[in-house]
Amino acid sequence: MAVMKFGGRLLRNLFSKPATKMYPVVPREYPERSRGHIEFDPTACITCNICGKKCPTHAITIDKAARTMTIDRMNCIQCGYCAESCPKKCITIVPGYTAPDAQKVSETFQIPEKPKEQA
């Protein structure tokens, strides 16, 4: 049995830098592989809807007729499965979390028509 086993550590604390960061003043640096949010490049999309079918929370909707892609940002769980399965790699998952919001945010992208000769 001993008393003040933690004393040394506590004394060291007085003279060392804090373990935390002054968050909003010092922004957080994300590592390269961090899964923050999805980015979509509409120009490469072929509206195959693999991402929409694979998404575990059905956060992605592809409307083939209207040529739109909608991401429900609040449903997205950042698993990165869509980015992994996209055949054209037009979905990427990048560091940086989306800002908190009081309302459900969804984003709709218009997918441009492909020129006939490429089709």
Partner 1 sequence: MGKRTIVPFGPQHPALPEPVHLDLELEDETVVRAIPSIGYVHRGLEKLAEKRDYNDMIYVMERVCGICSFGHGWGYAGAVEGLMGVRIPDRAECLRVMFHELSRVHSHLLWLGLLADGLGFDSLFMHCWRIREKVLDVFEAITGGRVIMSFCKVGGVRKDLTPEMLKMVKDTCDMIEDEMRKTALVFMKDSSVRNRLCGTGVLTKEDVIDLCAVGPVARGSGVNNDVRTTSEMYRSLGFEPILYDEGDCWSRCMVRVDEIMQSLDIIRNAIANLPEGDVSVPVKGNAPVGDFMFRVEQPRGEAFYYVQGNGTKNLSRARVRTPTNINIPAMTKMLQGCNLQDVSMLVITIDPCISCTER
Please give the residue ranges that form the binding site for partner 1 (CB under 8 A): 1-6, 8-10, 19, 30-35, 54-57, 77-81, 84, 93
Q: How far is the CB of 28 from partner 1 (least distance, A)?
A: 10
Residue number, 2 or 102, with CB nearest to partner 1: 2
How far is the C-alpha of 16 from the C-alpha of 42, rounded, in Å?
A: 50
Read off the tokens for 90: 């037009």
Dihedral sign for Cα 24, 29, 34, 38, please: positive
Judged on CB neighbours under 10 Å (0-12, 13-18, 19+), 86 is buried
For 31, which DSSP code? P
Q: How far is the CB of 102 from partner 1 (least distance, A)?
A: 24
Residue number, 36 or 112, with CB nearest to partner 1: 36
Residue number, 12 or 116, with CB nearest to partner 1: 12
Residue number, 9 or 116, with CB nearest to partner 1: 9
